A and B are shown apart, each in its own frame.
Chain A
């Protein structure tokens, strides 16, 4: 694959070949080393490592569990997924993503920005220290989890490409590899999967690009090697295995919105007051993956998934019933 690297940009961000190779070696060594991670908490000691679970990640900033709610077991978070490119059943992604190759990887940056082109993932990630963020994840299907992601603010990455004043939105695209993603054989959605954000949403510090969870590299079923995490929006906005990021002037089309515009909005902010046409969004079933887990799982859903204080101002003056 030809990977263009515009000469006028990011000089400090280009990884010399040797350094890149050495870094790979270190990552490999880490992956093969003891799997118990310092500070990874119960994720490291008590859970089975998923078959394709990645290596340990170097985390610069380790956030406390700001959510203050019990974390979901890693086993549950990596075996109960919606990733239709690998099948529509919850256990399909873990079962069917073994053939998926998340490296080498590159991402195309396009549209209304001073710097565009195709960049190797390593070069994209290099300047960003990884942080751990413990976020609630609320699925539009009315279940939720609490997951420790490893990533960095999406805005930090976007700014490097100097979006122009025409960049009102950011559009994302998932990789389209029918040979490695058996779910693509079924026209459930208009493949490839697409998502989008208004630029101010994308620049919000809570929006992150994740490369890992529970201290490890993202497993394939969770969107390896690069995915979006937007804790105040329904899970389907968190697009996985991103290969393209485009700055656009007009609101981009998004996969679920195109499939059922009356059911899945462009904004898709978690909102207990606005029901899905076919089911209630007032409450959710919290999946912890521990114990028998039969009783007391249902909790009230909060506006913006509990992040209203941080993000509500983004939507001031908007009719959230109409712009759901």
Chain B
């Protein structure tokens, strides 16, 4: 069957390259020695930033689709989601191999005891099944359950923001506003998802119900 290559299909390879670009730049800067006095911290920081950005981009696909009415935008979602997972893996790899290199015993203690590591590690664990079931075949096989399972993704940026906020010296949000920005973007994307219309209708029905109940004080009459 000859598939017609529409603009979504045509734009995927450049998008793929674009998603890879931050890693290429990071590797280039690391090789050039232009990451400043503490290059390892920079590597961790920037890879983590891109993981969060791509997670939020993935969550932005559906709202964007609804707002623009271009429903085939959904076809970008898997690519963005998998790249988010990829950057989470890169981020963790940098921490384990480059930063902690040689001090392996510390990692087990940290995963168990240090909340920001626990939370970050949990986010990575939760992403694994999502990545593994991201293929068309798995979508078909899982059917309705696929969608239920992939709702886990709403938890990941939250864990990511917590992971970011808890690792800075000051617990004060003012001292480090970046986690706050990511948190705000995430909150906006989640608020958009609340079915406002349904809530409003439900509330109206409820109010009508209580009004009716007020008019009929006899509970038996309400049945």
Contact = CB atoms under 8 A, between A and B. Distances in A.
B38 A90 contact: yes
Interface in B120-134: none
Interface in B33-83: 33, 36-41, 43
Interface in B89-126: 98-103, 106, 109-110, 113-117
A245 interface: no
B31 interface: yes
A180 B92 CA distance: 40
A188 B30 contact: no
A188 B115 CA distance: 22
A80 B39 contact: no
A85 to B, nearest CB: 12
Given A186-B175, A259-B170, A280 B37 contact: no
Contacts of B212: none
A283 B117 CA distance: 16
Given A279-B110, A287-B37, A293-B40, A298 B167 contact: no
Given A88-B176, A259-B170, A285-B41, A292 B114 contact: no
Given A278-B166, A285-B41, A298 B31 contact: no
Which of B33, B38, B99 has the most CB atoms of chain A within a 10 A radius of its CB? B38
Contacts of A293: 33, 38-40
Contact of A280 (B101, B106, B166, B170): B106
B30 A294 contact: yes
A143 B103 CA distance: 15
Nearest to B171: A260
A189 B174 CA distance: 10
A297 interface: yes
B172 interface: yes
B169 interface: yes
Nearest to B173: A188
B205 to A, nearest CB: 46
Given A280-B106, A293-B33, A294-B30, A143 B41 contact: yes
Given A75-B37, A294-B40, A296-B101, A282 B106 contact: yes
Contact of A292 (B31, B103, B109, B175): B31
5 contacts: A75-B37, A88-B176, A260-B171, A292-B33, A294-B30
* Shortest Cβ-Cβ A-B pairs, 3 listed: A76-B37, A80-B37, A188-B175
